[in-house]
Amino acid sequence: MGVPLSEHEQRVLQELEQALDHDDPAFANRVRQENVYRYAGRYLKWSILGFLVGLAVMVAFFTTSVLVGFLGVLIMFASLVGFWTNLRRMGKAGLEDIGRSLHPDGIGTAISDARTKLRERFRRNS
């Protein structure tokens, strides 16, 4: 539970936000949209992809070159370390947030949106 800010602190914070909006609106917008869950979630996805690439390298090259196969194992290990680090960074709240986004309704909506975009693009190109 956080400690509420005093009126003076809230006023100073608002002044800082206004100054940031005035000086660099693109950065201010990006800061508003970004949070630790989205940041860590993005790197979780990259870690999973890295693990799969490492697995593919290991399986494909282990019989022909043990060194390249071992490189695949190292890639997998580095991906697991990155995954674990970002998983800890997200914490329980972030995992629940990802869980909600992976809910069947969320996936169905994403697939439906993608399908609609593809249909619109096909109609424009036809």
Reported confidence tier of residue 1, pLDDT bands at 50, 70, 90: very low
Q: What is the model's pTM? A: 0.52
Q: Which two tokens stand for residue 49?
A: 């992809």
For 37-66, how does the pLDDT look when each residue is reduced to its tens digit (9 = 90+)?
A: 677 778 888 999 999 999 999 999 988 998
Asked whether the CA dihedral 74, 81, 33, 26 is positive or negative, the reply is negative
SS3 1: coil
Share of the chain above pLDDT 70, in %: 78
SS3 64: coil
